Each structure stands twice: as C-alpha cells, then as structure tokens.
Amino acid sequence: MKKIGLILCSVVMLLIVISNVCALGITPARRTIDYETGKNSVVPISVLNSDHKNIEVVLMVQGELNKSIKVSPAKLVFEPSEESKTFEYKLDLPSGLTPGLHTAEVVALEVQTSEGGDFVGATVAVATQVHVNVPYPGKYLDADLNVLNAEQGGVANFIVPIVNRGKLGIGGARALIDVYNLDYEKKASIETDLLEVGAKQRRELSGQWSVDVNPGNYIAKVTLMYDGETLVFEKQFSVGSRSLSIESIFVNNFQLGQIAKLQILVENKWGEEVKGVFANLLVYNHENQVMADVKSSTENIPSLEKKELIAYWDTVGVEEGEYDGKLMVKYGQKSSDKNLVLKVSEDRLDVVGVGYAISPRGGNGVDITMVLLILVVILLVVNLAWFVFFKRINSKSKKARKK
Amino acid sequence: MKVNKKLVISQLLFVVLALSFVFFMYPRTSYVVSGNVVLFDSGNVNVIMISKDSGFANPIYYDLTESGRIRLDPGHYYWKPINGFIKGFAGEFEIDSNAALSLDRGENETSLVNVGNVKLNVTKQGTSLVGHIVLDPSDSDVVEDKGVYTGGQAE
C-alpha cells in the first residue's frame, strides 16, 4: 500500500499539469465474481473521458488479489474526440482461496501532459473493484434488512434480501423479525414467508407490519432460520421518517433561451420543523450527461406545512425536445428524489413525472405460464371427453351387433 | 376411422387457434439501457413489473402509458411485461455502475464532485495527509488542490 502511495505521489509530482476541470469515470464500478477453481475471466472495463480532453490514463492494480490480475493495455491515451475507451483485465484466480470475500481494485489515474503552465495540483483517479466470492462449504446465508413505508397507521414492508454463499442449496429460509423501541421493549413480531434458496441464488423474504407505534427510531432484530441454522442481526429503522414530499413543480411564462423560474412545492410530513431544505434539479442531455445542475435557495419548512422552493434554470443554448431530469429535495444527509421528463418547447416547459410506481399492486394479467397451463388442461379435458364419448359409442355399437 | 379423423382435425384446429390467441395477445416490448435509464417501447404493453429478485417477491410496477423511461439505480434487474390480459415471460437487464470524479477549480477553492451514479469512498494520497471523503452521486466537497483523490464504490 505504501509502495502504491509512493508511485502515485511520484507520478503526480512528475507529470501533472492541471487545467480548471478534470473528470474521469470508470464503468462498471464493481464486478462481483463467484469463485470456481481454475476459472479465468476476462473482464472488459470502460474508462470515460466525459470532459472530452486530451488526457493520459495509467492503469494500476492494488489490493489482496493484485497478483491475480493482469491489465491490458496499461495506459490509455484519449483524444478530445474520444469519450470512452475500453481495456480488459484478466483474472487468474489462485486455487485454495479461503471462503468469503476477496477483493482487488484496478485504478485508473489521470495524468495530464503539459499544456498550459507548470502548476502542479490535485488529480483524480477512479477504481473499478473486483469482488470474488468464494463459496462456503455447506450452507451459508448473507442477509440484510430493508424497511419500506414505515408510517404510523400504515402497513410497513420488511424485506430481507438473502444470498446463499454456500455450495449447497437451502430447502427453506424464514425470518422472524422482532421490533423493539430504543429501551428494548418489544413492540411487535413479524414472520416472513418461507423460501427455497439455491446455491449462489438471491431471494427476498418479506413480511408486513401494521404500524401501531409512535413515530421515532426502532430496532429490528432479525432471526433468520434456514435448514437448522440460525443467523441473528439487528438494524435500526425509523417510523414516520423525517420526510419531505415533492408535491408539484410549476413553471410560468417560460421562454426558451431565457432564465426559467421553477416553483417547487414541498410538504414537510414530519412532526418537527426541517431546517436547511433546498431543491437540486439535474437535467440530462441525450447522452445521459448532466447538462444543467440547478439549486434553489435554502429554506426551513415548519412541521406539517408546505413551502415553495424557487430555482432558476438558464436555458440559453438548450434546444427544444424532451430531456430526462432528476429533482432532489435535500435536507441534512437525506434526500427525496423524483424522476422527471422536461418537455421543452419555444414558449412552454412541461414537467412530467416518469416511472410512476403503481402501488401497492398493479398490472392485471394472467401469467403466461398459467395461460399455457390452462390450454394444456383444456386439451386434456377435451381429449378425455372424446375418449369417454367414443367408448360409449363403441359399447353401444357392440351391443347392437350382439343383438 | 372417419370420426377419429374429425377428432384429430378438431384438436389441431383447437391448438392452432389457442396458440394464435396467445401469440396475438402476448405482451411484446423491447428495451434499451442507456446509463441509468431503461427505455421501454410500449408496444402492446402498459405495465412493466421490475424486481431485483428473480422470484419477483417484491416487484415494483411501472406505468408505461406516461413514459417508457424508467430511471433505476445500478444493479441487476428482472422484468415482466403486462398488458392487462397476459403477464409475459421474465427478462433481465443490468444497469451498470459508474464511478466518476470531477475536480472543479474555482477562483478561491477547488471542489471534488461525484459525477457518477454510485456512492463513492474517496481516499487521498500523495501528500503527508491521508483522508477519506464519502460522496453521494452529484455531491461535492471542497478539497485541497494537492495529491491524488481516488474514488471507489462505497458499500
């Protein structure tokens, strides 16, 4: 690790001459691989030059599995016209890795060649992580807990995502979730469904709770039982979380090429004033890059009240068309997000929500497997009916012949 | 023998009609993944069911009548098309994660911005100080204009 630090430092000191913005991306940010003895993988990775600059990127490997990874090529040179370049790393895993997670990182470090002066400043590097899961002998479950819609008087969903990291399948996994307040007084007990989990498979157990407690913080103690084994863990969650909801977005007197005034109506659903609330609208161009990053001023919203946040979007250079957007209302470390489509025309800006989830259940339709099954059953019944019909005719004709 | 022929013909007819019915009523759609957005062609589908679990234990239903664009967090997803009559076979797609950092130099300060789509754990190397910064997507932090800031996916 020290060695890598020294290399990075010397690379920086020797080569970097910085301009005003430098940006670097790598995708995917992580690749998770299930270990198999003698398995070699070749993984393609893309490095992104989103600022379309003349840059050089050096690729380095670090971490526990660094000796098992070979990168090719070791350096990428970008012309301003090149937005992304692909390289490969070859993963040659050693035998005898212990069960569990083993990691490494391939780091792409931007080194800019001298263009404008001798200023030496900071630079950025991005890493694509390599996660190798070595299966445990026997049965082994990894689990987490997500609590959704925990509002007073509502029905909360407890979802326990489980991943079988063992070599053997699990016949049945079920979780018992006990809810405690922060003084460890038990408030509720929820039982999830029972599911089979194949080796390396991911499933989700779920249970529901009619929330009959006051808003606040609670502890969920999860006891996961699978084929005679037990896994116990705890997670804190909130009921009636300090949440703000985005009610509407208005745009009046819009003219393309001018500054648009966005009026974002936000409701505080929490029992206390929420301080330091602001809206952040991201507008994406057709290459899915952020073309506008607009922030409103910061406001305090009193308990159970609505307030308008005002943000201004400079539309100079924006063309007519449909753009994806993401509106985030931020407060403290939290954020309420809404995906949008902005339909921009010369004198009109329509903001519509996208990807609306229909809740709680939506989309009527019979499963295709069920449709095919019904057809097979109908065919069987028809055949059976024909069979009975002919048997009767045959027996009648036999009787007639005897007579 | 004549009756048996009739039986075979009527059964064949039934199978052909039934399969034609399924063929015409089957919900058809195609999709394109671009960054964090999945764009579904509505075809004869009005709802898309999406889940992170292959068993669709806790699916989310998206109404395609408003827009076929669905913005999702990085991850592996399973989906089924629905058109009110039939729920189609399951498909799957991947939203790739992107770790990206930008260093913006203003007149007085330098900001490090997470311009990717995953939460980043940023470490600083190359100076005597070694630090950690955690940045959510599109979040930024004022930093010293020295050293190397390396961002890798957090969590």
Bigger pLDDT: A47 vs A116: A47
Give whichever of A41-55, A349-363, B61-75 has the largest mean pLDDT.
A41-55
Q: Which residue has the tokens 């690729």?
A: A59
**B138 and B110, same structural domain?**
yes
Structure confidence at residue A13 (pLDDT): 43
- What radius of gyration do chain A's Cα atoms show? 30
Of B82, B110, B148, the CB nearest to A365: B82
Q: Considering CB atoms only, which of B37, B97, B147 is closest to A30?
A: B97
CB contact under 8 A, B102 and A326: no
What is the reported pLDDT for A361? 47
Q: Are residues B91 and B31 in the same domain?
A: yes
Tens-digit pLDDT profile for residues A91-129: 998 888 899 999 999 999 988 665 545 556 788 999 999
Q: Domain for residue B72, yes or no?
A: yes
* Same domain, yes or no: B73 and B130: no
Question: Which range is least confidently modeled, A191-195, A252-256, B126-130?
Answer: B126-130
Are B149 and A123 an interchain contact pair (Cβ–Cβ within 8 Å)?
A: yes
Token pair for residue A186? 């038990």
Question: Residue A68 gets which letter from DSSP?
Answer: G
Q: How far does the CA of residue B86 sit from the closest CA of chain A (Å)?
A: 4
Report the complex ipTM.
0.81
- The reported pLDDT for the residue numbered A186 is 94
Tell me if A126 and B52 make a contact (CB, 8 A cut-off).
no
| Separation of alpha carbons A119 and A271, rounded Å | 52
Cis peptide before A360 (omega within 30 of 0): yes
Residue B83 is predicted with a pLDDT of: 86
Question: Both B83 and B116 in a single domain?
Answer: no
Q: What is the pLDDT of residue A364?
A: 67
How many Å lie between the alpha carbon of A205 and the closest alpha carbon of chain B? 7
Domain C-terminal end among B63, B79, B95 = B95
Long-range Cβ contact pairs of A145-149 (< 8 A, separation 24 or more): A145/A177, A145/A220, A145/A222, A145/A233, A145/A235, A145/A237, A147/A220, A147/A235, A147/A237
- Average pLDDT in chain A: 83
> Which residues on B lie below 8 Å from A25 (Cβ)?
98-101, 115-116
From the CA of B3, how many Å to the nearest CA of chain A? 9
User: Is residue B86 located within the same domain as residue B33?
Assistant: yes
Average pLDDT over residues B106-128: 83
Residue numbers of B between 9 and 68 with CB closer than 8 Å to A: 11, 14-15, 18, 22, 26-27, 34-37, 46-47, 49, 52-55, 57-58, 60-63, 66-67
B134, B89: one domain: no
Q: Are residues B33 and B86 in the same domain?
A: yes
The shortest CB-CB distance from A203 to any of B55, B85, B153 is to B55
Are B88 and B33 within one domain? yes
Whether the CB-CB separation of B83 and B25 falls below 8 Å is answered with yes
Indicate the pLDDT class of residue A356, thresholds 50, 70 and 90. Answer: very low
**Positive or negative torsion for Cα A162, A166, A170, A173:** negative
Q: How confident is the model at residue A178 (pLDDT cuts 50, 70, 90)?
A: very high
> What tokens does A156 get?
């909360």
The answer to the question of residue B11 being in a domain is no
Are B58 and B86 members of one domain? yes
Alpha-carbon span A140 to B145, nearest angstrom: 46
Residue B119: pLDDT over 70: yes
Better pLDDT: A172 or A352: A172
Query: CA-CA distance, A359 to A93, in Å (whole number)?
Result: 45
The counts of H helices and E strands in chain B are 1, 14
Least confident of A24-38, A141-155, B36-50, B59-73: B59-73
Number of domains in chain B: 2
Using CA atoms, how far apart are residues A299 and A331, in angstroms rounded to an integer?
10
- Running DSSP on this structure, what letter comes out for residue A73? S
Ramachandran quadrant class, A200 (left: phi over 0; alpha: psi -120 to 50; beta: rest) = left
pLDDT band for position B66 (cuts 50, 70, 90) = low
Do B53 and A161 contact (CB within 8 A), yes or no? yes
**Per-state percent for chain B, helix, strand, coil, to nearest 5:** 15, 45, 40
Q: What is the per-residue pLDDT for A355?
A: 43
Give residue A45's pLDDT. 93
Tally of CB atoms within 10 A around B127: 15
Give the predicted TM-score (pTM) of the model: 0.69
Domain assignment present for B7: no
For residue B75, the domain's CATH number is 2.60.40
CA distance, residue A143 to nearest chain B CA (Å): 14
In a domain, B45, yes or no: yes
Domain identity same for B82 and B137: no
* Sign of the four-CA dihedral B137, B142, B145, B146: negative
Buried b / exposed e along A329-340 (16+ C-beta atoms within 10 A): bbbeeeebebbb
Res. A12 pLDDT band, cuts 50 70 90? very low
The answer to whether the CB atoms of A365 and B86 lie below 8 A apart is yes
CA distances from A121 to A26, A128, B148, B149 (A): 22, 24, 9, 11
A115 in Cβ contact with A17 (< 8 Å)? yes
Does residue B75 lie within any of the structural domains? yes
Count how many pairs of residues, chain A against chain B, have C-beta atoms within 8 Å: 234
Domain range holding B59? 27-95
Is the pLDDT reported for residue A300 higher than 60? Answer: yes
- Domains detected in chain A: 2-134 (2.60.40.10), 141-239 (2.60.40.2360), 244-353 (2.60.40.10)
Average confidence (pLDDT) over B5-31: 84
Separation between Cα atoms, residue A191 and residue A176, nearest integer Å: 5
pLDDT of residue A360: 39
Cβ neighbors of A323 (< 8 A, separation 6 or more) are A283, A284, A285, A286, A291, A341, A342, A344
Question: Poorest-confidence range of A350-359, B36-45, B137-146?
Answer: A350-359
Contact A220, A159 (CB under 8 A): no
Percentage of residues of chain A with pLDDT beyond 90: 30
pLDDT at A159 over 50: yes
Question: In this complex, do B18 and A383 lie within 8 Å of one another by their Cβ atoms?
Answer: no
Helix residue spans in A156-280 (DSSP H) = none
pLDDT(A17) > 80: no
Instruction: Give the confidence band of A220 by pLDDT, cuts at 50, 70, 90.
Output: very high
Averaged pLDDT for residues A56-67: 92
Q: Please report whether residue B113 resides in a domain.
A: yes
Final residue in a domain of this structure, among B95, B128, B144: B95
H or E element in which residue B71 lies = strand B69-71
Q: Are residues B89 and B45 in the same domain?
A: yes
Q: What was the pLDDT predicted at B108?
A: 83
Q: Are residues B86 and B146 in the same domain?
A: no
Q: What is the pLDDT of residues A235-288, one digit of tens each?
A: 988 887 656 778 778 887 888 888 888 888 888 877 667 888 999 888 888 777
A324 closest CB neighbour out of B37, B52, B89: B37
CB–CB contact B58 A105 (8 Å): no
Q: Is pLDDT larger for residue A351 or for residue A262?
A: A262
CA distance A27 to A31: 9
